[in-house]
Amino acid sequence: MRLSLLDRSRTRHGHPLAAALGHSVERAVAVERLGYERFWVAEHHAVPGIASGSPAVLLAAAGARTRRIRLGSGGVMLPNHRPLVVAEQFLMLEALHPGRIDLGLGRSLGFTAPVREALGRPEVSPESFEEEVAQVRGYLEGTAPVTAHPAGTAPPRMFLLATGSGLDTAAALGLPVVIGGPMLDAPDLEEHLARYRRRFRPHRADGPEVIVSTDVLIADTEQEARDLALPEVWAMARSRTTGLFEQLEPAERIRARQWSRKEAERVENGLAGTAAGTAGAVRRRLEQLIERTGAGEILSSASTYDREALADSDARLAALLS
């Protein structure tokens, strides 16, 4: 079972926003030593709780500090960019760090209507997305009418961050997929994955490939693990009320607040959706997830306020799946 990490460059209460970027690079160095397969970063725009708006720039910094681990995007949100520009950025990364670059592409738009307007793309259809993914691949592989540079490098590996329609796109284009979030709770998940595998048209990949992304946090006790998961879950619950995805806060600061009934429900549902617990409990949960999806890789997307506890959890997860 391969093990990888998605780091969203989460900002933390009491720390400068830009510090989150240095924290991400430091985490890449640490998980490389632990034997993780890949280290991915995210793209979010005008979100107070996330410092990373340019995956290619952050990956270049991580690449300069690491030697083996694969580096990639989870993902570049293609509707925000022209396909040629995306291809050029990742060809540059591949030239700088040969054989180590992944290009994960997603279809999500901005977090709020003003952000979507600022990005200039209020909506995108599954058909447009599939066409633009194919354009990126054409530039990467040198088959497009215009040559993306630096030419002559091996193309990065491409992945799709997939929902139901994204799985159909991945199957049509012969691409591996990353699934996570609410899709993991979908009652028809197995049906979607079976259709992806059945309709898969090989391109560079030999066959269909599924990576599961989920929040994984390991601690000595269930309560300690829940406390580790709380800052991220609280930020998500609050965003449903405020429209803002805020910085991570310490668990004790969050518990000292007066929660509304709706917030309490959202927090409890969010905690139930994380793979947070003791090593044994997390192992059982991941085994169930792998059995259900047939995934060959876990992409942990966890974050928490306490960076020392997060590093310890990353190490425990590596030991658990080694």
Helices (H), 216-306: 222-242, 251-255, 261-272, 279-293
104, 55 Cβ separation under 8 angstroms = no
243 conformational bin, left if phi > 0, alpha if psi -120 to 50, beta if neither: left
How far apart are the C-alpha atoms of 210 and 292, rounded to whole Å? 11
pLDDT value at residue 138: 97
Residue 59 CB partners (closer than 8 Å, separation 6+) = 41, 71, 72, 73, 93, 101
pLDDT value at residue 25: 98
DSSP 12: B
Map residue 226 onto helix, strand or coil: helix
55, 34 Cβ separation under 8 angstroms = no
211, 177 Cβ separation under 8 angstroms = yes
Amino acid at the residue 156: P
pTM over 0.85: yes
The residue extents of the domains of the chain are: 2-222+276-321
- Tens-binned pLDDT, residue by residue, of the chain (322 aa): 899 999 999 999 999 999 999 999 999 999 999 999 999 999 999 999 999 999 999 999 999 999 999 999 999 999 999 999 999 999 999 999 999 999 999 998 877 888 888 988 777 888 999 999 999 999 999 999 999 999 988 899 999 998 878 899 999 999 999 999 889 988 999 999 999 999 999 987 679 999 999 999 999 999 999 999 999 999 999 998 888 899 999 999 999 999 999 999 999 999 999 999 999 999 999 999 999 999 999 999 999 999 999 999 999 999 998 8
Instruction: Report whether CATH 3.20.20.30 matches the domain 2-222+276-321.
Output: yes
